[in-house]
């Protein structure tokens, strides 16, 4: 008789099991952050045991990293090709705001990660091939920040970013997330276009 290995996927579709764990973990991390959420709680909510959770994700940090990657969700918008920094910034901030508004837990997860996330659990793995975003001073956990840096620093062909530019980019992305959460709490739904326009106006004030 062949025994199943400890922690192997439960009967059924392994991809469905993985998805169930990710969905349960997203709710837990968005509610309690990395420190407050536990793998036991996540496993219980997903209807699996802790060994199965570790089989799919290796550790709590591996699960956390996977949840953050899922929260970003798909390709990010590109930096507009415009000669003026104001136009580049207007385009990327508006696009990133809509991106966050369409992913209900992204802003909460990103803000909690900045406050109390593990420093070695970035939203994306290290870059394997040289790209323009490598000009951003490391570490840059949130992949939205390099996009704002590029818009502020002159686009793909602009000069290397400096610490002040990255600080402004982090502030702008943080403002996007805070505004999304505030508007959602006030309206009970996704942020209105008027809120997005206000965020864009505030972001433009840093380059004028």
Q: What is the pLDDT of residues 172-206, one digit of tens each?
A: 999 999 998 887 776 655 567 888 999 999 999 87
Which of 175, 172, 1, 4 is CA-nearest to residue 88? 172
Where in the chain do CATH 1.10.10.60 domains reside?
A: 14-72
Using CA of residue 184, residue 186, residue 188, residue 193, what is the dihedral sign? negative
CA distances for 112 relative to 68, 117, 191, 194, 198, angstroms: 11, 7, 19, 25, 23
Q: List pLDDT tens digits, range 61-85.
A: 999 989 998 888 778 888 888 778 8
- pLDDT score at 26: 95
- pLDDT score at 48: 95
Domain 14-72 -> CATH class = mainly alpha
Share of the chain above pLDDT 90, in %: 44
Q: Which two tokens stand for residue 42?
A: 């996540």
What is the spatial distance between Cα 8 and Cα 12, in angstroms, rounded to a whole number?
11
What is the spatial distance between Cα 28 and Cα 105, in angstroms, rounded to a whole number?
11
Q: Which two tokens stand for residue 86?
A: 């104001």
């Amino acid at each position: 008789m062949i025994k199943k290995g400890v922690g192997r996927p439960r009967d059924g579709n392994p991809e469905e099991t993985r998805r169930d764990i990710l969905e349960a973990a997203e709710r837990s991390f968005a509610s309690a952050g990395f420190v407050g959420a536990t793998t036991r709680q996540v496993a219980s909510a997903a209807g699996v045991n802790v060994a199965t959770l570790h089989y799919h994700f290796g550790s709590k940090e591996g699960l956390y990293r996977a949840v953050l990657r899922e929260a970003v969700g798909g390709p990010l918008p590109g930096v507009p090709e415009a000669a003026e920094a104001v136009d580049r910034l207007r385009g990327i901030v508006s696009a990133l705001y809509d991106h966050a508004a369409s992913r209900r837990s992204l802003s909460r997860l990103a803000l909690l990660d900045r406050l109390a996330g593990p420093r070695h659990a970035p939203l994306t793995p290290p870059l394997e091939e040289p790209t323009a975003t490598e000009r951003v001073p490391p570490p840059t956990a949130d992949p939205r920040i390099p996009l704002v840096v590029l818009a502020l620093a002159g686009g793909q062909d602009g000069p290397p970013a400096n610490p002040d530019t990255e600080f402004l980019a982090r502030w702008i992305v943080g403002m996007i997330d805070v505004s999304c959460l505030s508007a959602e709490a006030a309206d009970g739904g996704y942020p209105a276009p008027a809120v997005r326009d206000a965020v864009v106006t505030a972001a433009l004030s840093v380059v004028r």
